[in-house]
Amino acid sequence: MTTVGSVLRAERLRQGLSIDAISIDTKISIVRLEALEADEVESFSSPFFYKSFVKQVAERLKIDPKAIAEVLESQASSLRQPLLPGEDGRHLPNVPALENVGERARARWLIPVVSLVAVVVAASGIFAWWEQASGAKRPSNAPFSLPTAVVAGSSTSTSKSNQPPQATAKPETTSNAKESLPSQKEAADAGTTPAAVAGNDSPIQVEVAALDNVWISVVSDGKFIFSGILSTAESKSFSSREMTRVKVGNAAALSVKYNGRQIGPLGARGSVCTAIFTAKNFEIVEPQPHVELTGYLSENE
């Protein structure tokens, strides 16, 4: 009697193909292919899977499906159809009513939402309190006072570092002071503030503001006056008569204002820069400046 398995096996051997080759082409395991050729129909869970495997192998071997259709149906009919849910005699589990499920689902997402709102409100309150406390403790325009520990640890001599910052000297005579002060129009053309022009003994005013936590070092008129980290949004002001040198560890994190003129960051993010400010102009010596000061140097020279 001709069977499906014998037909598949005979055609495979006639074409000189191995079971491994058929398995690679059809993606059917070798165990399944051997069961097909041995007509072990009971190895398959349902008639549907058995007929599906047979059709895939027959298509690979180029066997006419009509030639084995009758035999295939006869052998597949010996398999029992799988039972539908409820036909196996088992009791179905008790499922709660849909409305109860919906109520529990609403309760599940309501608790996280309420918790999230509470966290956001609490965080907003803490942030507002911190902003108010920080503003009351250190205004952004508060004058800078030199810490004793920084002065003691400076690289200059002990005798110079322990001396307090020199007070602004008074002009010798009223007539000399008037002659040395430029007019208000000249001060505006030069880009300086009236405070910087009026302070004849301190013509250099440098204000720095931290855009992020950043380390800076400041030397004023040859004296080492500050070295440390400025926190985000913290600002400081420095005055000098001859020269102020500012060294910054992350140039993009420090915004600089020179004699009332906003010049912004001194360089790129992560770069170490040193800027030298004099009464007429300023120069970035490490690294080369990324922006040019247009029209400023010519007006002040």
pLDDT in tens, 227-261: 999 999 899 999 998 899 999 989 898 999 999 89
In whole numbers, what is the pLDDT of the chain averaged over residues? 75
The full set of domains in the chain, from first to last, is 4-76 (1.10.260.40), 148-166+180-300 (no CATH)
Cβ atoms 260, 192 nearer than 8 A: yes
Q: Is the pLDDT of residue 128 over 60?
A: yes
pLDDT in tens, 174-233: 334 333 334 444 434 444 433 333 344 678 999 999 999 989 999 998 899 999 999 998
Q: Is the pLDDT of residue 145 over 60?
A: no
pLDDT score recorded for residue 172: 42
At 273, the pLDDT band (50, 70, 90 cuts) reads confident
Higher pLDDT, 47 or 82: 47
Where on the phi/psi map is residue 193: left (φ > 0), alpha (ψ -120 to 50), or beta?
beta
Spell 201-234 as b/e; 16+ CB within 10 A means b.
ebbbbbbbbbeeebbbbbbbbebbbbeeebeeee
pLDDT in tens, 57-100: 999 999 998 888 888 888 888 887 766 665 555 666 666 655 55
At 16, the pLDDT band (50, 70, 90 cuts) reads very high
- pTM for this prediction: 0.31
Higher pLDDT, 44 or 159: 44
At 18, the pLDDT band (50, 70, 90 cuts) reads very high
Burial (CB < 10 A; 0-12, 13-18, 19+), residue 43, is middle
pLDDT score recorded for residue 100: 58
Share of the chain above pLDDT 70, in %: 63
Window from 15-29, 35-49, 187-201 with minimum mean pLDDT: 187-201
Tokens found for residue 222? 């040859």
pLDDT score recorded for residue 132: 83
pLDDT score recorded for residue 216: 94
Window from 69-83, 97-111, 273-287 with minimum mean pLDDT: 97-111
